[in-house]
Structure 1
Amino acid sequence: MKKRLPLLFLLLGLALVARSLLPERNKTDFDLAAFGRLPVVVNGRVKPLDTVARTALVVLQSSQSISAPDETKLTPNEWLLDVLFRSSRADAYQHFEINHPDLLAIFSLTPADGRAKRRFSFRQLEPKIDELQRQARLAEPVEAAIRTPFQKAVAQLYANLGLYIRLKASMVAPDHQDFLSELLTYQKNVTAGIAAVRAKEAGQPYDAALAAQMMESGGRFSRMGELAYLLAVPPSDGESNTTGWKKVGESLLDSFPTGQINPAIMVYAGLARTWKADQPKEFNEILRLYRAQLERNFPQSLVKCDAEARYNSAQPFYTAMILYVLAFLIAVTSWLVWPDELGRAAFWLLGIAWVLATAGLLARMWLEGRPPVTNLYSSALFVGWIAVGFCLALEYIYRNAIGSVAGGLVGFATLLIGYYLSLGGDTLEMMRAVLDSNFWLATHVVTVTAGYGATFLAGFLALIYIFRGVFTKSLDKATADALSRMIYGIVCFAALFSLVGTILGGIWADQSWGRFWGWDPKENGALMIVIWNAIYLHARWGGLAKQRGLAVLAVFGNVITAWSWFGVNMLGVGLHSYGFMDSAFPWLLAFAGSQLLCIAIGSIPLAMWRSFRA
């Protein structure tokens, strides 16, 4: 039986991957998947409505899961449809996350009033929005880095409410009863109505009712144009006009001279009517016809939107995270029983997870048209990918489960970091100006990030050396020698790539900012990694430290790399200050503290290590 374990675990891993790749089924008669694939523009990027729904939910409540007040589970696309077209129902959904008690007090709410004691609805918050706005204005002049926890909570909730209100105004007027009928009436009367308005301005006889109707419509369209979050109206000249997308309100204002409403707006009004009236057949037919129209003018955008929606549904990095945990647990177990069978099973699971993560990275690269590292989120993915790739190579060579343990641990940790980074919104965001160069993204950024990943891996291998030596009797001479060689090889790679990546960064800085080096915090952090790896190598080559001392040095490399990767962003200064996350600072301190504790453990006399006791 135990001989079949590797095959069984391999089939389990493949089954998990296959399950994640199955297309999402529509749980109702409405073609929600087709709606989620419709393209819109947000923050300069064409993306499917499925991405809009998922990222909005993550921003509002740190999760893509949402339920109606009657506990009915909703898909992100169902939630977005209600927000866009049936806001009176969406206003009752509890999707605003509030954790600060003083902020709840503004709304006269307690945790017991919310879902899971932290999520509240727009309807619960609406009566006291004016007070929230007053508090937000008080917090606005204060720099983000020095705001109190209450001020940060106020600013975040105010921004989230703004996002929700803007979404509601993106496709139809939020207070509409039947926007389609309103538009048809407007289109019928617009020519005569404009004439009535002009006659009024000229002091001539005019139709007062028509003039009032046009003024009211103009005011409503203007408010929609100011509030809307989505650029949902595509340009008439197709994909060649990358900046021609408009908000619905703006496009309606443009229709006054001609009286012709863009067909996309009529589509959204039709979808709103059929969604509210629970008419799935008509809803699906409108989608089909609109999709056919888009395929003629926006074929490439639709292909990418379809692929991005499938990528969202598959969640490859979530499945990879599960596989990394399984590989880690099985590899650790292999040190206790059945080392050959379980070691091979862990290796195969780690390989499946890495291949899946590779597919996820390639999908992101194709969707963005960029190299793999474009922001902090993608850097976490790439650091883990590099580290696990090395672990697979080490395990293939040494076959002692150490590579699988380290790979599972590092892979899970980096994807967990990536998950928390994704809570900020769209992870495929448009490039910051300083990074907007494919050549330097493919050279400097990728190279220096590979150095990060290798330095972290060396540190985690050193942790395995220390913990196996101190707490178990399994660190025999052969294992200790193998771990020492692994750490040394990885540090050599890390030193080379960190050095080359830092030099390439200096060349890029010279071209972009006119100086090779400016002692910017990010530059200093990269230099610290190079210097620390050089210290390790000199200590080994000069015989200044033995295996235990070198392991301790490698562990401190985790602290250096974490500070250089994340810490410098939290300073809020320098040309490289992007991705600021003050909430991560306690976690950074906790990680550094844990590594210092491990160094202290590794520094106790060898006579007290279980593996070295007489």
Structure 2
Amino acid sequence: MRAVLLSFSCFLSFWAICSSSAGAKTAWERDFAQIAVQDHGRKKPLTSFASESCLLLTGKQSVALPDRGKMEALPLLLSLWLSPDGWEKEPILLVGEPILREALGLPPSRTRFSYDELSSNPALRALVLRLGASGRSAEGEDSSQAQIERAVRGLTDRMDLFSRIVSGSALTIVPEPAGTEKKWLTLAEAKAVYPVEVTTKLEESWDKMRAAVLSGKHAEAGTAALALAEELRSLSPARYPEAGKLRFEEAYRELQPWRWAWICYAAAAICLALTSAWGRRLGYFAGWGLALTGLLFQIYGFACRILLAGRPPVTNMYESVIWVAFGVVLFALLLEAVYRSRYLLLAAMPIAVLCLLFVQTQPLIFDPSLQPLVPVLRNNFWLTVHVLSVTLSYAAFGLALGLGDLYLWRWLRQAPDKKRQEPILTQYIYRCLQIGVFFLAAGVVLGAVWANYSWGRFWDWDPKETWALVSLLCYLALLHGRIAGWWGEFGLAIGSVLCFLSVLMAWYGVNYVLGKGLHSYGFGSGAVGPVAGFALAQLLFALWCSWAWWKRRADERGRVAPVSASQISRS
């Protein structure tokens, strides 16, 4: 326990040092976090809105411009909002898809373009008109055309957000009057609703804030932002978010618990690997402490998302991936507490790191923002029991994958003449498969009940349902084959690797490759290359190990020489 507390305190201290070094830069940003914006049905700090807008517009949390230098998210938003002149000529709008740049006749060496360049592009206007006329995706057409249409929709969303920010219509910061249920208002719209004396005070506070921002006086700008926030809160104290809740969300955004989690997991994996031959006891406890520290960071992150969004954190692909990473580590720690073996942690850490790094490096594809639920998901009971069951099964199968890779790697390293078995590793694989099958079977059954509750039928052979069933049958066959004696330790390890490919298809492929079905609220596109590369690497590794196993068996049979007839006669 002391190792855990020591590891956690060390990481928090390091983070505090990093934060204090940038304190002068971010103190005024925390003041702006007290201004709330209503966006996509949620009231969030202005800093969160700035971060999400910058990511959507530019593809990153900051952008380097030829004439303005590097700009972080909040300064970029404030400049677009408070001083919009000239921004239509700045290259900040992302066109990341090479196929779209080719279709629009844009330079292939650039990925960002100005609003004027794009709005005057005749090819883009033609594509937008065609999409508007069809009113639907290019279903049934070639994949390149569908990819272009998805890219055009993403680009038009960026252009629309840009125009709404520079016009001020996206900054709905004024709460609606008491007794009404309308959406929040912009400062311009508030003039038609509130008395003149109210809007005059708001404009004065806004003008002070604008003047301080444009003159580069950050401290004064922060003070003016706090004053404007208090003016806005006084209009509707019951509906305006409390200052503590806004600070809470800002702290979650600043800490970035998912980044610290994968750093802890990577450090745990390195520590366990380096101490496999010497210092095993010390390295084992250090790995335990680092793994548990990373888990605590993830628990903190999930608690923040639940409190801020008011729902379980498993409603999109981003949340399901970080939840699977959490489940992998959780199962490893629980089994490690029972079996006292370093192998479980050593197998779990790389899987968790890959999951968290994957979503951290693809923020445009895996949206980290907090969004409200779509209507079909607005039943937290079924959402919790069904989705958590399925994703926990993916976590157990992911841990089995890591253990299978570890078994095969150790098997490859041993000398061919040594028949060293790994009953401990295969026992761990078997336990993880049992856990995964239990949760996946429960998730499929509970999903059918939820489908009957929502859509009036238990089963409809939807691609998501079908592939979940395929995955369940694959793992059931693997377990029954082990019981029936069709394969031994090596076959179980190979099966744990190959069967996970069905999980990848059910979890990722249906959403990002097929992209159709009743589960459309979870669909998206992109990052197919890294996932396909991971699946191909696992497949090739399993085939390589299978070939090596067959070759060893052939060599063993060759060493047993047959008895000739002359030998029999002489005897």
- Asked if residue 32 in structure 1 is aligned to residue 32 in structure 2, the reply is no
**Structure 1 residue ranges without an equivalent (≥5):** 112-116, 171-227
Matched letter for residue 40 of structure 1? V
User: Is the Cα contact below 8 Å between 1:470 and 1:609 reproduced in 2?
Assistant: no
Find the residue that maps to 1:603 and give its secondary structure: helix
User: Is the Cα contact below 8 Å between 1:522 and 1:576 reproduced in 2?
Assistant: yes
Matched letter for residue 350 of structure 2? L
5-14 vs 482-491, which deviates more?
5-14
**What is the match of residue 297 of structure 2?**
356
Give TM-score, length-normalised by structure 1: 0.79
- Asked if residue 579 in structure 1 is aligned to residue 522 in structure 2, the reply is yes
**What is the match of residue 287 of structure 1?**
225
- Asked if residue 118 in structure 1 is aligned to residue 111 in structure 2, the reply is yes
2:221 and 2:175 map into 1 onto residues whose CA distance is: 20
The 5-angstrom pairing of residues 257-296 of structure 1 reads 261=199, 263-264=201-202, 267-280=205-218, 282-294=220-232
User: Is the Cα contact below 8 Å between 2:407 and 2:425 reproduced in 1?
Assistant: yes
1:333 and 1:474 map into 2 onto residues whose CA distance is: 25
- Asked if residue 330 in structure 1 is aligned to residue 271 in structure 2, the reply is yes
**What is the match of residue 563 of structure 2?**
none
2:100 and 2:315 map into 1 onto residues whose CA distance is: 37
The count of aligned residue pairs is 543
Find the residue that maps to 1:87 and give its secondary structure: coil
**What is the match of residue 125 of structure 2?**
133
User: Is the Cα contact below 8 Å between 1:330 and 1:342 reproduced in 2?
Assistant: yes
Find the residue that maps to 1:46 and give its secondary structure: strand
Q: Deviations over 1:304-353 (max 9, x none)?
A: 22211111111110121222222222222233543333333222212211
Q: 1:384 to 1:282 in 2, by over 3 A?
A: closer
The 5-angstrom pairing of residues 83-122 of structure 1 reads 83-88=80-85, 90-91=87-88, 94-99=91-96, 100=98, 103=101, 109=107, 111=109, 117-122=110-115
1:20 and 1:435 map into 2 onto residues whose CA distance is: 39
> Equivalent of 1:246, from 157, 182, 185?
185
- Asked if residue 161 in structure 1 is aligned to residue 159 in structure 2, the reply is yes
> Equivalent of 1:42, from 39, 43, 55?
39
- Asked if residue 231 in structure 1 is aligned to residue 152 in structure 2, the reply is no
Find the residue that maps to 1:555 and give its secondary structure: helix
**What is the match of residue 506 of structure 1?**
448
Give TM-score, length-normalised by structure 2: 0.84
Matched letter for residue 306 of structure 2? M
- Asked if residue 430 in structure 1 is aligned to residue 372 in structure 2, the reply is yes
- Asked if residue 561 in structure 1 is aligned to residue 499 in structure 2, the reply is no
Matched letter for residue 381 of structure 2? F
Q: Deviations over 1:174-198 (max 9, x none)?
A: xxxxxxxxxxxxxxxxxxxxxxxxx
User: Is the Cα contact below 8 Å between 1:520 and 1:575 reproduced in 2?
Assistant: yes
Deviation at 1:414, TM superposition (A): 1.3
User: Is the Cα contact below 8 Å between 1:507 and 1:516 reproduced in 2?
Assistant: yes
2:76 and 2:415 map into 1 onto residues whose CA distance is: 55
Deviation at 1:412, TM superposition (A): 0.9
Q: 1:285 to 1:549 in 2, by over 3 A?
A: closer
Q: 1:275 to 1:593 in 2, by over 3 A?
A: same
**What is the match of residue 322 of structure 2?**
381
Deviation at 1:507, TM superposition (A): 1.0
2:165 and 2:105 map into 1 onto residues whose CA distance is: 23
> Equivalent of 1:480, from 400, 405, 422?
422
Q: Deviations over 1:524-563 (max 9, x none)?
A: 1222232222212212222222011111111122111111
Find the residue that maps to 2:422 and give its secondary structure: helix
User: Is the Cα contact below 8 Å between 2:275 and 2:283 reproduced in 1?
Assistant: yes
**What is the match of residue 320 of structure 1?**
261
Matched letter for residue 185 of structure 2? K
Q: 1:323 to 1:438 in 2, by over 3 A?
A: same
Q: 1:286 to 1:259 in 2, by over 3 A?
A: closer
Q: Deviations over 1:33-86 (max 9, x none)?
A: 211331111111111111111112222232213345367543321111111112
1:399 and 1:478 map into 2 onto residues whose CA distance is: 21
2:507 and 2:119 map into 1 onto residues whose CA distance is: 43
User: Is the Cα contact below 8 Å between 1:484 and 1:547 reproduced in 2?
Assistant: yes
User: Is the Cα contact below 8 Å between 2:314 and 2:323 reproduced in 1?
Assistant: yes
1:485 and 1:231 map into 2 onto residues whose CA distance is: 57
Deviation at 1:602, TM superposition (A): 2.9
Deviation at 1:508, TM superposition (A): 0.9
1:580 and 1:506 map into 2 onto residues whose CA distance is: 20
Percent of aligned positions that are identical: 27
Q: Deviations over 1:102-151 (max 9, x none)?
A: 7279576563xxxxx5344446x367356533343345547266453555
User: Is the Cα contact below 8 Å between 1:398 and 1:482 reproduced in 2?
Assistant: no
**Structure 2 residue ranges without an equivalent (≥5):** 560-571
**What is the match of residue 200 of structure 1?**
none
Deviation at 1:16, TM superposition (A): 4.3
**What is the match of residue 515 of structure 1?**
457
417-426 vs 303-312, which deviates more?
417-426
1:574 and 1:419 map into 2 onto residues whose CA distance is: 27
- Asked if residue 391 in structure 1 is aligned to residue 332 in structure 2, the reply is yes
Deviation at 1:584, TM superposition (A): 3.1
1:248 and 1:406 map into 2 onto residues whose CA distance is: 55
**What is the match of residue 180 of structure 1?**
none
User: Is the Cα contact below 8 Å between 2:31 and 2:223 reproduced in 1?
Assistant: no
User: Is the Cα contact below 8 Å between 2:100 and 2:152 reproduced in 1?
Assistant: no
Q: 1:19 to 1:548 in 2, by over 3 A?
A: farther
User: Is the Cα contact below 8 Å between 1:392 and 1:407 reproduced in 2?
Assistant: no
1:339 and 1:309 map into 2 onto residues whose CA distance is: 41
